[in-house]
A and B are shown apart, each in its own frame.
Chain A
Amino acid sequence: MSETSADKLAALQAARDAISDAGRPEAVAKRRAVGMATARERIDKLFDPGSFQEIGGLVEPDRGHEMSRDLVAPADGAVTGTGRIGGRPVNALAQDFTVLGGSIGTVADAKCGRLVKFSRERGQPMVMLLEGGGHRIQDGMNAAHFAAASPVFRELASLSGWVPMVTAIMGQGFAGPTAYASLCDFVVMLRGKSTMGIAGPALVKAGTTTEITKEELGGADRQADAQGIADLAVETEEECLNAIARFLSYLPQNAGETPPVIPCDDPADRRDDALLDLVPADSRKVYNMKKVIQTIADAGSVFELKPGYARNMITAFARLGGRPVGIFANQPMRKGGILDAAACEKAAHFIAMCDAFGLPLVSLIDIPGISIGPAAEDTGLGRRSGRLFFEMGIATVPLASVVLRKGYGGGYYAMGGGRAFDATIALGWPTAEICAMSIEGAVDVAYRKDYEAAPDPQARRAELIEMIRGQTSALDAASGFGLDDIIDPRDTRRILIETFANSPARRADPAPARRRPISPI
């Protein structure tokens, strides 16, 4: 008797069941044993309930050569498809660690390629939940296969700046996952569970004889806090998936759309007296810039990126009157807020991302300068600081600069103070103090002969310092029209909201038509 339609439907259902968590109890048990979720559970939690449409669930792995002939790999180890996050469509891939260690097979690679195509052609964010090794060794140790390489990096690069790209490293993420993450705008990892890096401990030992645990080699302490290759480290999988949704909530679906403005019940003209005391007039005293940001932005809207990395520079998405903005600010509490190589790169990458997706920029300036000395030079700072100038130079989103206190030297330029980058509005607080370098340093460099020749050199030095300090104030800055206005700190929120509401989405781009600008690094 021939098969009926019902038989065929039943066969389809059986095939689907076989790849589901319910159909793979042993794989699920392994996850439970280590306190981690399955790829399918992660997908379910990431997306709005019932919104995920899988593609390629029924694929079989490539078994085209001797070493791969007997492979068993449900969905080829990757759950792929489209769903909705906060009501908006997003394409996602979740590696399945229970399938051959989450290795990336040829077919999964093709599935990823199709998602990239969706994201590119439909203008939708791309999210990758990664956990596994890199290339599947059974495929890779065969030149007939490996010589062709994978187009995945070209594909991912083609999305950069067009749609938001996110990677969550949800467990082991050495090699392939780290390479994927390197091309993404936002990378989140789990503290104590996730690892990232070029190669894991086994390869490191084999290749270099160095013995090191995977946590020491690629845990969040190194990769999120010390190196900043992850933007955020969180404690739980739930926090991780929530962070992805939160990151995306500030951004448009693609660079052709405008960022999502949401209703805001925090009054635009809210004046917080705390701002009068947060910044000490005595420039020897430091303060916590995060409190300034929290006070100015819409209540509860601040989402800090790379909070553990280069903490002398704060980068955060926030909202002002419901409008998403990107805030970057010097943090005097850490290294005095100086610009070192890490801070420059952190800010530069953030500015690039905000500019790509149309988020207006707010620069909160209290900068003692760009780092100096042999240790600073050894980081290539002469070039790396250039990346910050470069990104500020090519960004065309509205820019508001506010000098809270110190605006010293090249760092003041790099932060977009005054007319350096044609800010939409250039403001200062009454505590602003703006000049080419630290006043004491300037006196020692330029007037040493003068004060050493005086009857009382120290008195003359002090006199010179006071004289210069008397011409670096906020009102001096306003008098030369280097700033548009000096404002009451409590009005900052209202003025920023009004400025962005009154500005076109882009500032004029002074660059002539060209193929592309060239980043200093």
Chain B
Amino acid sequence: MSLINVESELAGTVWSIPVSPGETVEEDDPLVMVESMKMEIPISAPRDGVVKEIKVAEGDLISAGQVVVILES
């Protein structure tokens, strides 16, 4: 088991968070939806795992490279 810091690839606003801590996710499942460039863009799970911690809340402004979720894989 290892912890993965899932980062946002781009700056924007957290639009929605479709997962909860403890939830099992598969690779490519959306973890956080970011509103950027007038689009709702997913930050997806880089691999299968369990959501360990969510580091952002809806409405937060985030920057590129910011850790949004810690995934246990």
Contacts and interface: CB of A to CB of B under 8 A. Distances in A.
Interface of A: 283-286, 332-336, 338, 368-369, 373, 375, 438, 440
B50 interface: no
B64 A375 contact: yes
Contact of A368 (B9, B39, B40): B39
Contacts of A338: 10, 37
A283 B37 contact: no
A438 B37 CA distance: 8
Contacts of B11: 373
Interface string B1-27: 000000001110000000000000000
Given A368-B38, A373-B11, 13 more contacts: A283-B38, A283-B39, A284-B39, A284-B40, A285-B39, A334-B9, A336-B37, A336-B39, A338-B10, A368-B39, A375-B64, A438-B38, A440-B38
Chain B contact patch, size range: 10 to 19
B37 A368 contact: yes
29 contacts: A283-B38, A283-B39, A284-B38, A284-B40, A285-B39, A286-B39, A286-B41, A286-B42, A332-B39, A333-B41, A333-B42, A333-B44, A334-B9, A334-B41, A335-B9, A335-B10, A336-B10, A336-B39, A336-B41, A338-B10, A338-B37, A368-B37, A368-B38, A368-B39, A369-B37, A373-B11, A375-B64, A438-B37, A438-B38
A104 B7 CA distance: 41
Contacts of B44: 333
Contacts of A368: 37-39
Interface SS, A side: loop
B40 A286 contact: yes
Which of A333, A336, A373 has the most chain B CB within a 10 Å cutoff? A336
Contacts of B10: 335-336, 338
Interface string B29-44: 0000000111111101
Nearest to A372: B37
Contacts of B39: 283-286, 332, 336, 368
Nearest to A369: B37
A369 B64 CA distance: 17
Contacts of A335: 9-10, 41
A334 B11 CA distance: 13
A440 B9 CA distance: 23
A368 B38 CA distance: 9
Nearest to B65: A375
B44 to A, nearest CB: 7
B16 to A, nearest CB: 12
A243 B42 CA distance: 30
